[in-house]
Amino acid sequence: MEFPQQQKPAGDGKIFYPPGVKEITDKISNDEVVKRLKMVVKTYMDMDQDSEEEKQQYLGLALHLASEFFLRNPNKDVRLLVACCLADIFRIYAPEAPYTSHDKLKDIFLFITRQLKGLEDTKSPQFNRYFYLLENLAWVKSYNICFELEDCNEIFIQLFKTLFSVINNSHNQKVQMHMMDLMSSIIMEGDGVTQELLDTILINLIPAHKNLNKQAYDLAKTLLKRTVQTIETCIANFFNQVLVMGKSSVSDLSEHVFDLIQELFAIDPMLLTSVMPQLEFKLKSNDGEERLAVVRLLAKLFGAKDSELASQNRPLWQCFLGRFNDIHVPVRLECVKFASHCLMNHPDLARDLTEYLKVRSHDPEEAIRHDVIVTIINAGKKDLNLVNDQLLGFVRERTLDKRWRVRKEAMMGLAQLFKKYCLHHEAGKESALKISWIKDKLLHIYYQNSIDDKLLVEKIFAQYMVPHSLDTEEKMKCLYYLYACLDTNAVKALNEMWKCQNMLRGLVKELLDLHKLPVSEANNTAMFGKLMSIAKNLPDAGKAQDFMKKFNQVLGEDEKLRVQLEMLISPTCSCKQAEICVREITRKLTFPKQPTNPFLEMVKFLLERIAPVHIDSEAISALVKLLNKSIEGTADDDEEGVTPDTAIRSGLELLKVLSFTHPTAFHSAETYESLLQCLKMEDDKVAEAAIQIFRNTGQKIETELQQIRSTLIPILHQKAKRGTPHQAKQAVHCIHAIFNNKEVQLAQIFEPLSRSLNADVPEQLITPLVSLGHISMLAPDQFASPMKSIVANFIVKDLLMNDRSVGNKNGKLWTTDEEVSPEVLAKVQAIKLLVRWLLGMKNNQSKSANSTLRLLSAMLVSEGDLTEQKKISKSDMSRLRLAAGGAIMKLAQEPCYHDIITPEQFQLCGLVINDECYQVRQIFAQKLHLALVKLLLPLEYLAVFALCAKDPVKERRAHARQCLLKNISVRREYIKQNPLAQEKLVPLLPEYVVPFMIHLLAHDPDFTKPQEYEQLKDIKECLWFMLEVLMTKNENNSHAFLRKMVENIKQTKDAQCPEDAKANEKLYIVCDVALFVIANKSTACHLDSPKDPILPSKFFLMQDKDFKNDKEYLTTEMRQMLLTGKPKPAPVLGAVNKPLTVPGRRIFTKTSTASDTASNTSTNSSPLSSSTINKNSNSNAATESAESRTQENNENPVIKNDEGKKEASQNATPDAGTEASPVKRRGRPPKTAAAAPVVAEKEGAAAPGGGAGRGRKRGADPNSNPSAESINIKMSKQQQQNDEGTKRQIDLQSRWPFVSREQERVRKWEHGGNAGRALETVVLLLGSEGDTEIEIELESSPEDVICGRKDRERRPATHGQTSCAAWSNTRGEGDTRSTSRGVPSGRQGEPISRDDEGRVAVKRKPLKVRSRL
């Protein structure tokens, strides 16, 4: 567009001024100039666009005002007035300006723009004129003239900068509106916005500028909203150059693009319509830091409260979710942090987030797993409905994490949710019901081995589950109904918690008692032992020992501190007194003050554990009142979600537990009156618990509460005579515990009961037998002699030696308690009576113990049918065998009876653990473990667990192994904590169990053919079951000690039958097998033994000094078979179809690489595995399909696979109607009978052949041709007979090995399709990063592992080979390769271990050889 020629003023260039205005030149003063300009301004203000005459008249003046004199005048007032005149001139002469020169126009608008800076000071006298200038410019849109200038952008940039810089909070809305009008007109009516002008606007959105001038930010925000349609294209172009093309030089704001995107999105998402797809591209960048920046940005955009970006842009949302699996740790961490805001602001996206949070809850990084928990808990605390059950399940899994920080966060988070929604009911009953599992889960953690976990559970219980800060009544109400709602395991955990705290209080009391004694060496030694015991119950045992020594020193020096501590652990200490004592003790130990005082923290841990913060006399009274309300029906039981009967029963159970730990708190007439009411209730369990509470707490009833005594005695007499067996037992013990004239009271019960015994009515015999047995045990001096005649004439002759009724011939090996015949129940109680009578006498002067032991042995020999009249059912026989075995074990706990138990009787007792009935084995093993772990039984009974290697059920073998581990650790710890025990190592040192085990196995009824491979394999298996645990560590050269012990046994005779050559030969053969196992396990066993072992003379007789037994009883061939397995003849086709070879070419042999042989090193590896062959090198183990799991009270336990699905069980037990083997063994099932159900392999068909393995089918018969299609069936090793260099036939039945996570990606597998699918299954079993570790027991035999590896090393590759890459998921760069999986949970009671990164680690358990049960 061409500007018109400049207009000439009328009068040949003469300037006309308004009337009264003189000429304005540089000759006059500034004040005069201002005065005259004001009149000019007024003239122009009054003019309008229609005054053509005036316009022409004052045209010269208009041109004059644009001269350099005015535009560059140093006076601010002059410049302002000139600017106002110029603005009016543009208004008057619009749309044509009187100035046609581009340069002049540019100078004028730059001049006007500079004057707008005066808007900054609203208090200035000239502000109104500045406002008039702005208003005039905005109304007329004067700056639009500049569009015709080539360098108009410079003017606009200067204008925008000026306006953004001058705006402040003192400006009113009109000023802001005019600024907005002025700038928006330039953007909307122009051809486009240049990058420089866009920068001028966007720079105000950057956080740094935003904080400096909030009004400029608001102005820019409003401007962008108004011009969104016009400016969006310019914004998109800017971000396209920076984000996609990487041209950061296009703008100084390039480094702030992500901040700008966030601000622009908050202003109006339409501004970024074309930008969002560019962010999807940046999310896949190779630069981790760049991905992190984009993720941070999108996290804010998606998580914003009113954001609809996720629903509007699903591809970008899905791409963003993919960053949860990013390979860069900070990116994954940022994604997890975002999830918290997203869950709270957008609950509808929870379903999308759940799967990704599941994967991250197993992340190898501790910080990420921690933040997953924080994310879920924060959302749950805001509103429980924001988190679904699956998300809460992730937190539940992390309570078993490897890392303490993660476990603590998970436990504390769940505790906070429980307190908010279950205790305070902030969201109603529905929400409380949703998380009702939290209380049980938190208490289950008390089963963990870590003392940190236990301490945290105690803290959570005291602060969140039953807050100690509540009033006593409210606090006890919480405890009362919490106890009623807990599951069985949680109740046990809570009871154990109180028991541990009480035990620790006892240790502190014993320590304080030692301080009262004179100083001596013995006293110091005892004090040190107490300190070590206390330190074991505190975190970080090493530091705890040092701090406890320091605390003990302080106690010795500060008597006031000892007084406070004694008051704290006193039985009469109330909860309020406990708080005062803790505060005083803490105050005394805070000097000198330090920023961190680890000593004080450790003492606080101790005080928190021993302080009675919940239970005192007032608390017990409150509990009793709640119990009374439940009995009367006036309690809030239904509102709390429990029935009145449940509340009463659980309430009494709670009181019973507290009666053990706080007996003094029960001493009140009100409490005992309520308990008397419970004794009169019909519920047997309630009455039994009430009697037990009286027994534990009633020591002062006779002296202080005569009325209670007079009421209680008749009730106890009645319960002892006609109550249930459990009530009778507790009643007798209660009388003995709380009454001084106990002999008279017991006699009043004994005499009528002894006269009323009648074997013809067995239903009425059970309670009298229980009472008589306990009376004779508690008062032997008074009742031992009368009992002897009862035992001889009635118990043995009339009851045990007679079968009056015929049992149920249903063939079952076990039935429920309700189905057992009364006669058998009476016989079981009769056996227990015999034991109690003998335990009361504690001597064998009358030889009654010998007779009893012979009777019990005869019952075991006859398999429970003592009369052998075939009247008793098999299930009843199982009950009697269990009773007899338990009776011998109980008598062995008394030293005088242990000495007279013969080796034959010991062996009969031990063989019960191999009984054909599952429940007998289970209960006997539990009784054996409890007696051993309390150090009540002699060490020889620990050898019985070696027989568990033959158990057909995996669960029983696992339980036996845990029992061995626990017992051995208890004995070792006892020796360490008790210096005096060093002198009695023979009955305590676990290694001394080996002679008893060897003798027991030598007399195994199955060990009839000493040179038969199958029998020797069983012996080897049993020996390894025990030796594996003993040889985990070579402490004090114990391996050499074991070897020396076995060698010494080989130089003795069997004391049980010293002249029997066959028996001695079997003993020596077992010794050779033991030496063989030890030598293959340990390379240090051949060193010199530190001590000469002592052998038990009861089992071994020393030979003459000249005797030397150096004979090898195992042949070389037998040793090889024990090492590698019995060879199998090759199939006919395998011998005929020899592999073809090409002349001149070498047969391809797969070389074993490091990745082929690497595995997780485990101390539990078998001594007979390939590790012993290859000089203790690591080897890969093989897996087997699901093992059987058994159900209690079921002779055919149901088998479950790894996914928990029930499989069909095969009823092959002799009790299910099948004909048993004619050769019966003592205390064990026939060899041909399968004692456990069988399950087929998950992927393959059932193995042919009828041999029964451990609860599953055996492999094919050695003489049969193996099927080529049964890929997953275990194969024995084929004998290596071909020369080196020949090619071995491909074995389709070989097993696939385990690999580590790294090997999964690089190793090629030499199997076809089925094996590849099986491999995927195994990798899933490996668990995911961050999971708690479970142990997967590998049941393959050592020879299978060796054979499998050698086969793989020799056979050539085939076209069906499958590499790990064929099935593994691949992702783009920046992705992790973790797999979403749940956390497998171990069997309860088993310790859970974890690897260093919190991952599930598949540990190698001992490789076991198949049993023959």
On the question of pLDDT at 398 being above 80, the answer is: yes
- Nearest CA-CA partner of 182 in 168, 163, 165, 201: 163
pLDDT tens digits along 267-316: 888 887 788 877 888 888 888 888 898 888 888 888 888 888 888 888 88
Q: CA 340 → CA 294, 300, 324, 355, distances in Å?
A: 18, 11, 14, 15
**CA–CA separation, 493 and 457 (whole Å):** 10
pLDDT at 611: 92
**CA–CA separation, 509 and 1145 (whole Å):** 83
**Cross-strand pairs, 1336:** 1404
pLDDT bucket at 980, cuts 50 / 70 / 90? low
Residue type, 1262: P
Q: What is the 3-state secondary structure (H, E, C) of 544-606?
A: HHHHHHHHHHHHHHCHHHHHHHHHHHCCCCCHHHHHHHHHHHHHHHCCCCCCCCHHHHHHHHH
Mean pLDDT of 1111-1120: 86
- Nearest CA-CA partner of 235 in 274, 268, 277, 181: 274
Separation of first and last alpha carbons in the chain = 107
**CA–CA separation, 531 and 516 (whole Å):** 16
In this structure, what are the phi and psi dihedrals at residue 726, rounded to the nearest 5 degrees?
-65, -40
pLDDT bucket at 678, cuts 50 / 70 / 90? confident
**CA–CA separation, 955 and 1186 (whole Å):** 12
- Nearest CA-CA partner of 1073 in 1128, 1113, 1028, 1131: 1113
Mean pLDDT of 846-856: 90
On the question of pLDDT at 945 being above 90, the answer is: yes
Greater pLDDT, 64 or 420: 420
pLDDT at 981: 63
pLDDT bucket at 1321, cuts 50 / 70 / 90? very low
Omega within 30 of 0 (cis) for the link into 1131: no
Confirm whether pTM is higher than 0.85: no
On the question of pLDDT at 1202 being above 90, the answer is: no
Mean pLDDT of 773-784: 90
pLDDT at 1216: 36
Mean pLDDT of 14-27: 77
pLDDT at 508: 94
Structural tokens at position 1032: 């985990």
pLDDT bucket at 1276, cuts 50 / 70 / 90? very low
**CA–CA separation, 536 and 534 (whole Å):** 5
- Nearest CA-CA partner of 67 in 98, 10, 15, 108: 108
pLDDT at 1100: 92
Mean pLDDT of 639-644: 84
Chain centroid to Cα 644, Å, comes to: 35
pLDDT at 1129: 62
Residue type, 209: H
pLDDT bucket at 967, cuts 50 / 70 / 90? very high
Mean pLDDT of 484-490: 93
Chain centroid to Cα 968, Å, comes to: 26
On the question of pLDDT at 771 being above 60, the answer is: yes
pLDDT at 734: 93
- What's the chain's average pLDDT? 77
**CA–CA separation, 1056 and 904 (whole Å):** 8
Structural tokens at position 1085: 């066993």
Mean pLDDT of 931-935: 93
**CA–CA separation, 138 and 703 (whole Å):** 105
On the question of pLDDT at 414 being above 90, the answer is: yes
pLDDT at 1396: 42
CA angle 989, 990, 994 (to 5 degrees): 115
SS3 1060: coil
Greater pLDDT, 1344 or 860: 860
Mean pLDDT of 526-551: 89
Mean pLDDT of 63-69: 79
**CA–CA separation, 443 and 460 (whole Å):** 9
On the question of pLDDT at 537 being above 60, the answer is: yes
On the question of pLDDT at 1058 being above 50, the answer is: yes
- Nearest CA-CA partner of 370 in 417, 336, 334, 406: 406
On the question of pLDDT at 1337 being above 60, the answer is: no
DSSP-derived pairing of the beta strands 1362-1363 and 1100-1102: unpaired
On the question of pLDDT at 519 being above 50, the answer is: yes
pLDDT at 412: 95
pLDDT tens digits along 610-622: 999 999 999 999 9
pLDDT tens digits along 1170-1183: 333 333 333 333 33
**CA–CA separation, 1336 and 635 (whole Å):** 49
Mean pLDDT of 1370-1385: 38
pLDDT at 983: 64
On the question of pLDDT at 1019 being above 70, the answer is: yes
On the question of pLDDT at 1215 being above 80, the answer is: no
Contact 847, 898 (CB under 8 A): no
SS3 1054: strand
